[in-house]
Amino acid sequence: DGGITQSPKYLFRKEGQNVTLSCEQNLNHDAMYWYRQDPGQGLRLIYYSQIVNDFQKGDIAEGYSVSREKKESFPLTVTSAQKNPTAFYLCASSISTSGDYGYTFGSGTRLTVV
Amino acid sequence: AQKITQTQPGMFVQEKEAVTLDCTYDTSDPSYGLFWYKQPSSGEMIFLIYQGSYDQQNATEGRYSLNFQKARKSANLVISASQLGDSAMYFCAMSAGYSTLTFGKGTMLLVSP
CB within 8 Å: A106 and B95: no
Average pLDDT over residues A8-14: 93
B11-68 tens-digit pLDDT: 999 999 999 999 999 999 998 999 999 999 999 999 999 999 998 899 999 999 999 9
Measured between CB atoms, which of A33, A43, A104 is closest to B91?
A: A43
A67-106 tens-digit pLDDT: 999 999 999 999 988 889 999 999 999 987 765 678 999 9
Give chain B's contact residues with A (Cβ, < 8 Å): 9, 31-33, 35, 37, 42-45, 47, 50, 52, 91, 95-101, 103-106
What are the angstrom distances between the C-alpha of B104 and each of A36, A69, A78, B15, B17? Answer: 13, 31, 24, 25, 25
CB within 8 Å: A41 and B105: yes
